[in-house]
Chain A
């Protein structure tokens, strides 16, 4: 039987479509988790009340920010999940090498980030409609144009994809040694408390502000892209040396 050959991108493309099918459960859990976040948001995220002699005003704020928060969490967990052994073994049942497996994983995570971000932002509109139907009282909403919406979705995609790269990297570390399951949370909370007890700004807070408090969009995008690239490259080079199905 004659030999055939294939290039990397063809394989990645095939694996990508395979993974969309295989990880369909990730998207159903996305819907579940966003509905849950919507439910939580329905109580309002803040309220202000004031009153005079014979009147009182109660202002409640509704926002779907919580949906984005939950989506970030979902993205993190999804990224960790696909680095685990069973998921890597699925690839090795068919045609793959370690690089194509990771690249298709990254494409899948990017798709997941895009889907998650769009639904998360649109969930804000759903909240408005639900509030309009179910709540009595005057509803005011700040009208945002399509441009705002698109920008909101884009920035959210960057955040979510950023989180998946962290998740993928951490997941990979755990595949090297289960010790990282303990080590990473210890380091995370350890630095927080250690710095706080030493009366200085915790290091992680600086990291957090570095990414989230960036007001220039282009700079923010560059920061995220560079960091994402570093995390994924590190993960790929680790996974490249890992044996499967031992």
Chain B
């Protein structure tokens, strides 16, 4: 079953196009990573899916229904980010009770245990929490609500490394016990790549690609060797990323469609062949210009 289906989804704010004819679908019970640079429309997309904001044109279906103003979509999905707001008059422990009243699959036991594990004060209030603590608390709500569609938008904002690790582990454990559709948007692809099954990469409001993480790992290769050899090898191909080392050495990343024969030949002439980390690859694929920050400082 497809949980989310978008066709030609477009969203404009005034005259600025945020999402541009985006089409994709997400299958049931998969963890999908939504990856993209800052300001490409990740949050906008997730908010449309959650029914907070309206699409300008195109179609979006969540559980085969339009999410905007839809009670059933709201009941079966939860949107977790650091902007989640709770009434300042209700103490933290009582917020858990309130959330339990609203969400039918709420796991009181899990919420309580996570609450105690991260040592929250039951009498404290949500608006007094620090940035990292806020994210942690919201994450507890997101996990314990056990919604068939759980959306985490930058869930680790402000969390320290230990809590981030705990969160990923908790997410994975709970997902295995109660499989559900999870969308995770994050800047730390290297941290979450072990969790993800699929990756949806967005660039400038458009879908760059959607593929499984294992495909992504083999999608590109890095070649390092003398400039002449490497350029010879990558002739006619789009170089996604290149970096110069010293005088005559270059590292280039290209799409991996070399034959085994060609790769062996390359190895013989001294070109180092390496796989490319998915997180690095996503950065290369979504970079605005070919080249890097170094070029800013290089005087021509």
Known: A21-B94, A245-B83. A92 touches B52 (CB 8 A): yes
Q: How far is the CA of A1 from the CA of B90 in the complex (A)?
A: 30
- Known contacts A1-B105, A95-B102: A22-B71 contact under CB 8 Å: no
**Contact B74 A93, beta carbon cutoff 8 Å:** no
From known contacts A4-B75, A243-B52, infer whether A99 and B63 are also in contact, taking CB-CB under 8 Å: no
**A207 beta carbon closer than 8 Å to chain B:** no
Interface-lining segment among A5-13, A131-139, A165-173: A5-13
- Indicate the member of B70, B75, B76, B87 with the most A CB atoms within 10 Å: B87
Least CB distance, B264 to chain A, in whole angstroms: 48
List 17 additional A-B contacts (Cβ < 8 Å) besides A11-B71, A14-B101, A97-B74.
Answer: A1-B178, A2-B148, A3-B72, A3-B148, A6-B71, A6-B75, A14-B102, A17-B101, A22-B89, A89-B85, A94-B103, A95-B71, A97-B51, A99-B69, A243-B53, A244-B53, A245-B83
Q: Does A96 count as interface, using CB distance less than 8 angstroms? A: yes
Q: Are A95 and B94 in contact (CB under 8 A)?
A: no
Bound CA span A66–B99, Å: 41
Within 8 A of A (CB), among B123-165: 141, 146-148
In Å, the complex CA distance between A90 and B141 comes to 14
CA distance A202 to B47 in the complex (A): 48
Interface pair B179/A22, CB less than 8 Å apart: no
Is B98 part of the contact surface with A, judged by Cβ < 8 Å? yes
21 pairs from A and B in contact (CB 8 Å cutoff): A1-B179, A2-B148, A4-B105, A18-B101, A21-B98, A22-B90, A90-B85, A94-B102, A95-B74, A95-B75, A95-B102, A95-B103, A96-B71, A96-B74, A97-B69, A97-B70, A97-B71, A240-B69, A243-B52, A243-B53, A243-B54
Complex CA gap A92/B179 in Å reads 24
Cβ-neighbour of B180 out of A1, A5, A18, A92 (below 8 A): A1
Bound complex: CA A244 to CA B99 (Å): 19
Q: Judge whether A23 and B89 touch: CB under 8 Å.
A: yes
CA distance A241 to B53 in the complex (A): 9
> Could you tell me which B residues sit within 8 Å of A by CB distance?
29, 47, 51-54, 63, 69-72, 74-76, 83-87, 89-90, 94, 98-99, 101-105, 141, 146-148, 178-180
Indicate the size class of the contact surface on chain A.
35 or more
Contact at A93–B90, with CB atoms within 8 Å?
Answer: no
Given A21-B94, A90-B87, residue A245 in contact with residue B103 (CB < 8 A): no
A94, B94: Cα distance in complex, Å: 14
Report the number of A-B residue pairs with Cβ-Cβ less than 8 Å.
Answer: 88
Q: List residues of chain A with CB within 8 A of the CB of B141.
A: 93
* Residues B72 and A6 in contact, CB atoms below 8 Å apart: yes
Residues of B within 8 A of A93 (CB): 84-86, 141
Q: How far, in Å, is A88 (CB) from chain B's closest CB?
A: 9
Cα–Cα, bound, A21→B52 (Å): 24
A92 contact set on B, CB distance < 8 A: 52
A200 contacts the other chain (CB 8 A) = no
* B146–A1 CB distance below 8 A: yes
